[in-house]
Amino acid sequence: MSFDVHPRRWALLALHLGVAVMLAGAVLDARRGRRTDLDVPLLPGHLCRASVFADGRVYEAPFALGPTQVSVDFYPPEYTLFRGNAGNASASARMSGPFRLPPGGTLDLGADGRVTATELRDESGAWRHEVPLASGGLLRRQPPVVRDYRLRLQLRDSAGVLSEAEVSVNHPLHYRGWLVYLEAIHPGMIQQATLILRQAPGRPLVIAGIWITLAATTFACLARMRNDHATR
Tens of pLDDT along 97-136? 678 877 767 888 877 888 888 888 888 888 888 888 888 8
| 150-175 pLDDT per residue, tens | 889 988 888 888 888 899 888 898 88
Same domain, yes or no: 185 and 120: no
Contact 82, 93 (CB under 8 A): yes
Distance CA 83, CA 113 (A): 13
Among the three residues 84, 112, 144, which one is the final residue of a domain in this structure? 144
Burial class (CB in 10 A: 0-12, 13-18, 19+), 168: middle
pLDDT for residue 211:
92
DSSP 134: T
- Of 3-7, 21-25, 77-81, 95-99, give the range with the top mean pLDDT: 21-25
Same domain, yes or no: 111 and 156: no
pLDDT for residue 95:
67
pLDDT for residue 3:
41
Among the three residues 94, 117, 144, which one is the final residue of a domain in this structure? 144
Same domain, yes or no: 154 and 64: yes
Same domain, yes or no: 135 and 192: no
Is the CA virtual torsion 166, 183, 98, 94 positive or negative?
negative
Residue 50 belongs to a domain with what CATH number?
A: 2.60.98
- In this predicted structure, the answer to whether residue 199 has a pLDDT above a threshold of 70 is yes
Same domain, yes or no: 98 and 115: yes
| 59-105 pLDDT per residue, tens | 677 888 888 888 888 888 888 888 765 455 444 456 676 788 777 67
Same domain, yes or no: 31 and 117: no
DSSP 101: P
Q: Can you state the angle between helices 7-32 and 203-231, rounded to 10 degrees?
A: 170
Residue 5 is assigned to a structural domain of this protein = no
**Average pLDDT of the residues in 199-225:** 84
Q: How many CB atoms lie within 10 A of CB 37?
A: 11
Contact 119, 131 (CB under 8 A): yes
Same domain, yes or no: 132 and 95: yes
Among the three residues 123, 144, 165, which one is the final residue of a domain in this structure? 144
Contact 115, 106 (CB under 8 A): yes
- In 3D, which of 110, 185, 189, 107 has the Cα closest to residue 142? 107
Averaged pLDDT score across all residues of the chain: 80
Distance CA 125, CA 19 (A): 55
- In this predicted structure, the answer to whether residue 8 has a pLDDT above a threshold of 50 is yes
- In this predicted structure, the answer to whether residue 223 has a pLDDT above a threshold of 80 is no
- In this predicted structure, the answer to whether residue 17 has a pLDDT above a threshold of 70 is yes
Contact 180, 35 (CB under 8 A): no
Whether the predicted model's global pTM rises above the 0.85 cut: no
Residue 131 is assigned to a structural domain of this protein = yes
Same domain, yes or no: 192 and 129: no
Tell me the residue range of the domain where 215 lies.
10-72+148-221
Specify the higher pLDDT residue, 11 or 91: 11
**Average pLDDT of the residues in 222-229:** 71
Same domain, yes or no: 32 and 140: no
Residue 34 is assigned to a structural domain of this protein = yes
Query: Identity (one letter) of the amino acid at 74?
Result: F
